[in-house]
Structure 1
Amino acid sequence: MTQCAEVTAIETGTRFAVIGAGVVGLCAALQAQRTGFHVTLIDSNEPGKSTSYGNAGYLATEVIDPLGTPDVLRAAPKLWLNPKGPICTPLKYATKAAPWYWRFLKASQAEPAQRGTQMIHQLNQAAVEAWRRTLSDIGAEHLLIKGGHLVVWENTKGLEEADRLIEKMRGYNIACEQVTGHALEQLEPELSASLSHAVFFPDIHRLSDPYQVCHALFNAFIQRGGDFITARVTALKPEQDQVNVDLMRNDGLTSTLRFDQVSVCGGVWSKSLLQQVGLDVPLEAERGYHVTFPDDQTRIHHTILSADRKLVLSPLGAGLRAVGMSEIGGVELPPIKKRFQVLREHTKGLLPKLFEKPDLKSSEWMGHRPSLPDSLPVIDQHPSFPRLSFAFGHQHLGITQAAITAELLMDKIQQKPETIPLDALRVDRF
């Protein structure tokens, strides 16, 4: 990516800083530019290279339930005890994770979980059109693909589960249908012949590749006069008429910049910044893993979720990507290497022909999803300093909800009427 010269001051225009150059921060920076702000984007890493980089890339608008529901709680012990299952907590982090899990249990009860479903559904309903507006604006609408999505089962015992899923989806006006046998084979010829049935979502979209999209967003931001500073934010000092941002650049130099508006879009790394401004948010790093097979991006035609194995397969520009696992494990611990092997085993169970190649190449990656106990993001302003705003905590739906989040955030900053009620997404709701 091309990086512009670092700046120490902005002399003209209303000065707006976005902290965090992941997909949410990039969308927010572009939306702020469209609104008329002079925008500076700040991150210690290359834009799009942290959590956003490893996403499956599909806009999961059919995923409307929070991570915690009564059904999930009933299934959790079995999933947790399965050594090849999708859930675990590194033992070294178990004590630190306990308060988050306590809040998660409370948020998983029937009433709060249903409220969460309603909120997620509202955001997801608006997600695709927001992405269409965002990408069309920068001449990159070709990066949004209507590819369809399959949820697959390997055993006829899952037929009732598929029926319940279809019934629920239709209750939310989400198009889907059950497919079996020859119809399933026509949709995905290389899927394992042992599959029993699937639910097909014809209207699901995906991005061509998460990093490619971040690259396009960043280049458009720079071309429109945006500034990018490679630095770590060490302190936020909000005042009534400005926000001071202390920076430490990668060369060790420090500085303080002053902005009229600042939005914190730093994913899981937002937590420490919020603590500095009197906000204690139960934000945790939910570690996710992927394995990408770079020469096999055309092996499947749709995104595929295995209901049994709890992983997603996605055909991206970078290759065939297998994404899964859910670990509340912080940002310091190294990956659990056996998790990559589990992803490969699950991928082989679904796409056995892939592993017939004697020289099959693959790459491994682990990232940190910013997760709150109720699975809802924060889209809000500081209760005492409205010039400081926030957009983070999207958990598994960061790619899905990034563009609509940016629009909602800018509307809130400009005090426009809410198109989606945001009370459930307050920063002080905990």
Structure 2
Amino acid sequence: MYDNPLSAFTNTSLPHQGSAGIQFAVVGAGVVGLCVALEAQRRGHHVTLIDHTEPGKATSYGNAGYLATEIIDPLGTPDVLRAAPKLWLNPKGPICTPWRYIAKAIPWYWRFLNAAQAEPAQRGTDMIHQLNQAAVGAWQRTLADINASALLIKGGHLVVWENTQKRDEAHQLIEKMHRYDIPCEFVDAERLAQLEPELSLSLSHAVFFPESHRLTDPYEVCRALFDAFSARGGVFINAKVDDVHPSSNTHIDLRIAAQTQRFDKVALCAGVWSKQLLERVGITVPLEAERGYHVTFPHDAARIHHTVLSADRKLVLSPLNAGLRAVGMSEIGGTTLPAIKKRYRVLREHTKGLLPKLFDNPQLESTEWMGYRPSFPDSLPVIDLHPMYSRLSFAFGHQHLGITQAAISAELLLDKIEQRPSLIPLDALRVDRF
């Protein structure tokens, strides 16, 4: 359905500077940038989307595709700090930093340790919960607007345990979720086998989230967003933005493909690549690339019916139109080092532990991918305006929740740009909070 080559995306024609209305540029064509571009169009702006890669083909491409509204804690909490040494020393564990990147990662980890203390971590939980509460409704509005509601599925989500001694963990999770009004229930091994017959019989118990939603496929959704954006007159420039020049508070100049282009307003939504552009406008942020991996089995899309998170193995299995996808790993490692091949082997091993029948097929096909989650030490995104140049705005840094929070981030950012009352207080998401 979406097999056009990159050239089909490329529109290097530049916006007509003399046309009526606000000329609005969005830098970054991942899921957040696409949602911002469409929201800006809905509000009457002439929008130009700019990215050096194909829309939806960078970090957004490899996501598990489910709206993780039950993930309300930041990555750093007191519990995580206590468990970190064990996770880090486990050669098959989910946490790692490549040796060649450790020195560069130390300042980020220092801030992470501070953000993981009880009080700031609780503030992070409260903020993430507010964004996640609004996430599904925002996605429903976004997809309904482009006649693509079928791309959002209420499929349910399972957190599963293999260790029978960890039933208390499941009940503690349920108790916490109920405090935040997130529906869920305990599932014993017998019912789990009914919900997901393909899962390993060694699983002990689970927590079921019946209201959870997922996308049919992250890339498919990005393509639908981009097609709607283009059909509504949006311009796409397939080029790198080399520089940003605010001129007092009257316009913003972008240096694109050796040309300077002027816009009335600009939103930076370029994920981890936003950091270097912010430095051009006098802002330094502790944003790091948290490398994540996936293995996709393209012919096994219907093997499971729900998204599945293994509490023991720390990976997600997701049934997508593109196939069954196993997603995991958390690696602070920058954007230039090659993927660590061992990560793919570990993902396959964990997948086999959960879905042993999948590997009965000697001709089993799979693909591998690594991407760069834009992560701040406090696990919160930036949704804000430049403190000096209000025509320059930001939406990036959503770590593991980019797909979940993309649509609501777009609505909140455009409200802030237009100085409308916000449904969610955004003070904790300021660009200068560090």
Q: TM-score category by the smaller chain?
A: over 0.9
| Equivalent AA in structure 1 for residue 57 of structure 2 | K
Q: 1:258-337, aligned counterparts within 5 Å?
A: 258-337=262-341
Q: Unpaired runs of 5+ in structure 2?
A: none
Q: Unpaired runs of 5+ in structure 1?
A: 249-253
| Equivalent AA in structure 2 for residue 268 of structure 1 | V
User: Alignment partner of 2:240: what SS?
Assistant: strand
Distance 1:126 1:80 in 2: 34
| Equivalent AA in structure 2 for residue 161 of structure 1 | E
Instruction: Report if the CA contact (8 A) 1:348-1:354 is conserved.
Output: yes
CA deviation profile, 1:49-76 (whole Å, cap 9, x unmatched): 0000000000000000000000000000
Instruction: Report if the CA contact (8 A) 2:301-2:319 is conserved.
Output: yes
| Equivalent AA in structure 2 for residue 154 of structure 1 | E
User: Alignment partner of 2:119: what SS?
Assistant: helix
User: Alignment partner of 1:331: what SS?
Assistant: coil
**Match 1:97 to one of 102, 105, 110:** 105
1:181 CA displacement: 2.4
CA deviation profile, 1:335-394 (whole Å, cap 9, x unmatched): 000000000000000000000001000000000000000000000000000000000000
**Match 1:81 to one of 76, 83, 89:** 89
1:4 CA displacement: 5.7
1:247 matched to 2:247 = no
CA deviation profile, 1:120-144 (whole Å, cap 9, x unmatched): 0000000000000000000000000
Distance 1:424 1:418 in 2: 13
Distance 1:285 1:234 in 2: 19
Instruction: Report if the CA contact (8 A) 2:289-2:332 is conserved.
Output: yes
Instruction: Report if the CA contact (8 A) 2:10-2:238 is conserved.
Output: no
1:362 matched to 2:378 = no
- For 1:235, the equivalent position in structure 2 comes to 243
**Match 2:218 to one of 200, 205, 210:** 210
CA deviation profile, 1:170-198 (whole Å, cap 9, x unmatched): 00000000101221111000100000000
| Equivalent AA in structure 2 for residue 167 of structure 1 | E
Distance 2:84 2:62 in 1: 25
Distance 1:301 1:8 in 2: 45
Instruction: Report if the CA contact (8 A) 2:298-2:323 is conserved.
Output: yes
Q: 1:191-202, aligned counterparts within 5 Å?
A: 191-202=199-210
| Equivalent AA in structure 1 for residue 145 of structure 2 | D
User: Alignment partner of 1:135: what SS?
Assistant: helix
- For 1:398, the equivalent position in structure 2 comes to 402
User: Alignment partner of 2:29: what SS?
Assistant: coil
Matched pairs, number: 425
User: Alignment partner of 1:396: what SS?
Assistant: helix
The alignment-based identity, stated in percent, is 72
1:333 CA displacement: 0.2
CA deviation profile, 1:374-415 (whole Å, cap 9, x unmatched): 000000000000000000000000000000000000000000
Instruction: Report if the CA contact (8 A) 1:47-1:215 is conserved.
Output: yes
**Match 1:45 to one of 50, 53, 61:** 53
Distance 1:69 1:402 in 2: 24
1:345 matched to 2:349 = yes
Distance 2:11 2:82 in 1: 54
Bigger shift: 181-190 or 386-395?
A: 181-190
**Match 2:68 to one of 52, 56, 60:** 60
1:6 CA displacement: 1.9
Relative to 1, partners in 2 of residues 1:291 and 1:4: Cα closer, same or farther, differing over 3 Å? closer
Normalised by the length of structure 1, the TM-score is 0.98
Distance 2:203 2:239 in 1: 49
**What is the root-mean-square deviation of aligned Cα atoms in Å?**
0.7
Instruction: Report if the CA contact (8 A) 2:15-2:235 is conserved.
Output: no
1:19 matched to 2:53 = no
